[in-house]
Amino acid sequence: MKKLVFGVLVMLVSSVMAFAKPNIVILATGGTIAGEAKSDLATTGYKAGSVGIEVLINAVPELKNLANISGEQIANIDSSNMSDEVWLTLANRINELLDRGDVDGIVITHGTDTMEETAYFLNLVVSSAKPVVLTGAMRPATAMSADGPKNLYNAVALASDKNAKNKGVMVAINDKIYPAREVSKTHTLNVETFKAPNSGEMGYIIDGKVFFYNVSLKLNSKDSPFSVKGLKSLPKVDILYTYSQDGSKVAAEAFVKAGAKGLVVAGSGAGSIHQNQKEYLIELLKSKKVAVVKSSRVGAGLVPLSDEEIKQGFISANNLNPQKARVLLMLALTKTSDPKKIAEYFDKY
């Protein structure tokens, strides 16, 4: 009898503990964190997006101490092949899950190459105050000293933290927390690759404990006007790179011919564009068929516009790098093609 009572008590206590833990859903999209190499010394030449979500979860049994975990495979790709289709599926699934009372936060495993773009996209279209955290790895799952398991643990710790609400989409990687708008990959191979050049990191995760120091003042998630509900595709926006001896209109013309509704110029310095290329862009702006955003290939800092450029219809990317400016322009174009209204979005988001 005593044994039976004890057994019932143990069951009761463990179910109360399970209830007390947050419910975190891990959505897997591929990347090096799910990559397999032939040798444990190999950190290049492997196949990203090889192993499934269950393998990733089972590799970190400690996750169960942090949260009640469930996993879903959204895609299993190298993130350099990321597409609007996967973005739309991911965003809609996150919104669906976060609407539910029994989901407290989302972790997304993702390749590091384009993580900054997906993070910023989700930051603008996920309409919830609940935490959404992206993570990945620089070394494949099979590598000696793989960084994926710790990154996944930290991402779940962050998504489970009561202070992680209302902070927009975040990236948790290499023990640091970054805001989606600011984070950027800055090294091809090193594990210390992510930085937030304009703002610095938001905080740290040390031994599973979350420490916040900064928050982004730019609007995000539940304060964003953008929605992908019902969208089957996104407006086409391309990036024009500026370099010396540039100045042909070939690339810009080809993008527009292929259906681009917007162009982001990765200009030199504070966003300068080679004069020959700029003349073509001014002509293009007169047609009012294409929006043109000036960004910079430098990687940090504001891009100012002259009064004349504003009159011509150019839009400043503010301090967004070209790949992030592209994301915001795509979403802005789902709402308007008026350069003044688009410029307001670039100021706010």
List active site positions. Answer: 32
Binding to ligand SIN, residues 92-131 (CB under 6 A): 111-113
Closer residue to ligand SIN in complex, CB, 112/174? 112
From the list 91, 133, 138, 239, which residue makes contact with ligand SIN (rule: CB under 6 A)? 138
The Cα-based distances of 42 to 35, 172, 253 in angstroms read: 11, 24, 42
Q: Does 48 bind ligand SIN (CB under 6 A)?
A: yes
Closer residue to ligand SIN in complex, CB, 86/315? 86
Q: Does 148 bind ligand SIN (CB under 6 A)?
A: no
Task: Give alpha helix (H) positions in the chain.
Answer: 2-20, 53-58, 63-66, 84-99, 115-125, 148-160, 250-257, 275-286, 307-312, 322-332, 339-348
What residue type is 57 in one-letter code?
I
Neighbours of 2 (CB within 10 A): 6
From the list 43, 68, 79, 128, which residue makes contact with ligand SIN (rule: CB under 6 A)? 79
From the list 136, 168, 203, 313, which residue makes contact with ligand SIN (rule: CB under 6 A)? 136
**CA-CA distance, 134 to 111, in Å (whole number)?**
10
**CA-CA distance, 200 to 262, in Å (whole number)?**
29
Q: Which pair of structure tokens corresponds to residue 128?
A: 């919830």
**What is the SS3 assignment for 149?**
helix
Which of the stretches 73-81, 161-169, 174-182, 333-341 binds ligand SIN when contact is defined by CB under 6 A?
73-81
Which of the stretches 75-83, 224-232, 248-256, 334-342 binds ligand SIN when contact is defined by CB under 6 A?
75-83
From the list 31, 105, 267, 271, which residue makes contact with ligand SIN (rule: CB under 6 A)? 31
Closer residue to ligand SIN in complex, CB, 121/280? 121
Q: Does 32 bind ligand SIN (CB under 6 A)?
A: yes
Q: Rounded to the nearest whole angstrom, what is the least distance from the CB of residue 139 to ligand SIN in the complex? A: 8
CA atoms within 13 A on the CB side of 65: 8
Q: 291-296 and 315-316 as β-strands: parallel, antiparallel, unpaired?
A: parallel
List of residues contacting ligand SIN (CB under 6 A): 30-32, 48, 78-80, 111-113, 136, 138
